[in-house]
Amino acid sequence: MAGRRSTRVREIAREVLGYDRLRPGQEEAIRAVLGGRDTLAVLSTGSGKSAIYQLAGVQIEGPTVVVSPLIALQQDQVRAIEEQELGGAVALNASMSDGQREAAFAAIEAGHAEFVFLAPEQLAKPDVVARLAAAGPSLFVVDEAHCISQWGHDFRPDYLGLARAAEDLGRPVILALTATAAPPVRQEIAARLGMEDPAVVVRDFDRPNIALDVRNVADDDAKLTALLDARPGGEGAAIVYVATRRAAESVAAALTGAGLPAAAYHAGMAAGERTRVQEGFMAGEPPCVVATIAFGMGIDKPDVRLVAHYDISDSLDAYFQEIGRAGRDGEAARALLLYRPEDLALRRFFGGESEFEPEELEQAAAEAGGERDTAALAERLEWPEARVKRALALLGVAEEGEDTVAGALEAQERRQGYLRTRMEMLRGYAETRGCRREFLLSYFGEPFAGPCDNCDNCREGTPAALEVCEGPFAPGTAVQHATLGRGQVLRYEGNRVSVLFEEAGYRTLDLEIVIGEGLLVAAGE
């Protein structure tokens, strides 16, 4: 049976999607789903994650519900499925009229829509869930699944209700998809979605066609000069990421003034203007967009030749996803980071989130009870709804028998500590004298033996980049530290070892000290 299904998957991939063969990880994930197993697929940007649910969904009786965070992305996915004749698709979102919603439900109920795309907030509506449940969905897909993780770089509280929504829909097989998820994020995705013994498929993080470069700059003038030297938009499409709305405007103006047409894009712009800029960029005019992180998810332009970070990202997770928008056509592209250490403090300020005081969590716990209507709870607490959802997420992590507020405060402290160590890994990437590709891939738990010959350090023959560093534990080995607890070895550079600890986050340790004093041993010893 499994063999016949695999053959049929390849036939559909070839005849409908035009694939000569499936990419690494795709067939493994599809087979797990068809076998009735919850699946987490972590595949790099542009590696065909949508093909996994498309090829699995058409072979399972019952509609496929796909949680997708952006209306524009939903519309693109519906259009693509209709063109491929994969069984029909509809979207359910807040922009639709009552008549359009009824037409979409009619298509679902008549069996004319194999795929149903909707944002997570739609699944907080009992009437939507009830009508979808009546259709008997067979597959529940969570796209951009890292958004459910508080350890992730793009946490969205609306995702926290998806496990309950899946249960209310009859608990179909769950397929979670993401392009970036470090080990702690993977674990939280599976836990928060209530996945049962999931198959975890992690493949294809390396994008060898993207050159990885870092330029150290002393000040803003030097940073702008370095950016102009890179000629964003001068030799193909380019995205320049900045930290603030003001920087988006000023840098775009500076590029345009230097004869490199560019447009700004940020959340402070009117929706119509953002749409105009995005659609223009996709069509090639302007060739360059200077943007905050408001620009990115759902952008699928294959010929982006340069992704430049005028300001540093808030984590390697975010950086990896952002540079993944370059070179999706497989041709040569470049990721350029303009780096000065002072920018890390700026990113901490803009990327930080306000912490909860004990009395705030006590108030939220007292008001919440079994409340599912977060809008009503927000009104009673007089808080923004997003803050209410964050508080409920923290209150939900307490162990059975533990004081709920105390457990939430402890979880908050762990998260803040983890975010600080994650920022230090970003500093490590920017300042390493070793192979940058090896550093980046090891962060995601993917072994890579440098040199890569396509990062600035390797091309320049930096001794540390060409040195093969070995240690007493192979990368991926589970270890135990005397005070930091259990962890996993990521990489070596010189006499230092980077370890991801379950409680203490990312740490870089002096190898001679931790081994010589017996502080780090293989787990179980």
Q: Which of 276, 260, 352, 257 is nearest to 308 (CA)?
A: 260
What 3-state DSSP class applies to 64? strand
**Whether pLDDT at 104 is above 90:** yes
* Topology classification of domain 2-203: Rossmann fold (3.40.50)
Convert the pLDDT of each residue in 481-520 to its tens digit. Answer: 989 988 888 888 878 888 888 778 888 899 889 888 889 8
Domain ranges of the chain: 2-203, 210-350, 353-414, 434-522
**Whether pLDDT at 399 is above 70:** no
Query: What is the reported pLDDT for 391?
Result: 83
pLDDT grade for 203, boundaries at 50, 70 and 90:
confident
The CATH code that applies to domain 434-522 is 2.40.10
Query: What is the reported pLDDT for 491?
Result: 85
Q: Please indicate, yes or no, whether the overall pTM of this predicted structure exceeds 0.85.
A: no
Q: Which CATH superfamily is domain 210-350 in?
A: P-loop containing nucleotide triphosphate hydrolases (3.40.50.300)
DSSP for 205-227, written as a single string: ---TTEEEEEEE-SSHHHHHHHH
Query: What is the reported pLDDT for 212?
Result: 97
Convert the pLDDT of each residue in 73-101 to its tens digit. Answer: 787 888 888 877 777 899 998 888 889 99
Query: What is the reported pLDDT for 141?
Result: 97
Most confident of 57-61, 100-104, 156-160, 491-495: 100-104
**How many CB atoms neighbour CB 446 within 10 A?**
18
Rounded-to-integer distance, Cα 161 and Cα 123, Å: 8
Helices (H), 16-70: 26-34, 49-57
**Percent of the chain scoring above 70 in pLDDT:** 88
- Phi and psi at residue 172, in whole multiples of 5°? -70, 175
Burial 277-296 (b: 16+ CB within 10 A, else e): bbeebeeeebbbbbbbbebb
Number of residues assigned to the chain: 525
Domains 2-203 and 210-350 share a fold: yes
**How many CB atoms neighbour CB 396 within 10 A?**
14
